Amino acid sequence: MIALDIAGLVEIRTGSGIYVRHDLPPKGDDSVAAPSMSQRDAGPFEILTARMTIEPHVAAEAARNATAEDIAALWRIIEKMKEPTDPRTGLERDREFHFLVACATKNMTLARIVDELWSHHFTPMHSGISTLTGLFHTDAMDISDHTEIVRHIEARSVVAARKSMKAHLNHVRAILLKA
C-alpha cells in the first residue's frame, strides 16, 4: 500500500482507510502495454545506481580540473547548506552542490548528465520515498560528506575525491535501504 501511495495510485487516510485516486489521467487502449522509458520515472534505486556509477568519477575529474573559482563556489554552497531551511530548499542546495562538482570537471556533458539524474529527485515517487525514509533530514551527514569531497577536490586528490563521493552515495543508499 505504501508503494501504491508513493506512486500516487491510492490515498491513505489514517483512521479512515485507503482510497483509489480518481484524479488519475485517463488511459487509452494501450494501458496494458509496459511504459516506454520516456513514459515512466526512474525509481530512486535506479537513479542512485546510476549516480554511484557516474558521480565518483565526476568527483575525480573535478579534482583534476577545478579552478579556484569552482572550489570557492563549492565552499559557498556548503555554507548555504548549513542554514536552516525546508526540505525542498535543502534538496535544491544538494542538487546545486552535485551540479557544481560536475561543472568543475570542465566537461559540460558530465554536468548535463548529473543534472538530468538529479531532476528525478523532484518526482512524486522520489519525494515520497525520501519522506518515508527520512532522507530529507540528513543535513548533518550531507554537510560532513560534502565537506570531505571538497577538501579532496581542493587538494587535487583524485583517488580520495572518488572515494569520498562513493562513500557519500553509499550513506544515501543505506538510508534508503532502512525503509
Q: Check: CB of residue 154 under 8 Å from CB of residue 71.
A: yes
What pLDDT sits at residue 45?
82
Q: What confidence tier does 4 reach under pLDDT thresholds 50, 70, 90? A: low
* 106: number of Cβ within 10 Å: 15
Radius of gyration in angstroms for the set of CA atoms belonging to the chain, rounded to a whole number: 18
Please say whether the structural domain 42-178 has been given the CATH code 1.20.120.530.
yes
- pLDDT digit string, tens, across residues 94-152: 999 999 999 999 999 999 999 999 887 766 665 666 665 555 567 788 899 999 999 99
* 31: number of Cβ within 10 Å: 8
Q: Which helix (H) or strand (E) holds 71?
A: helix 68-81
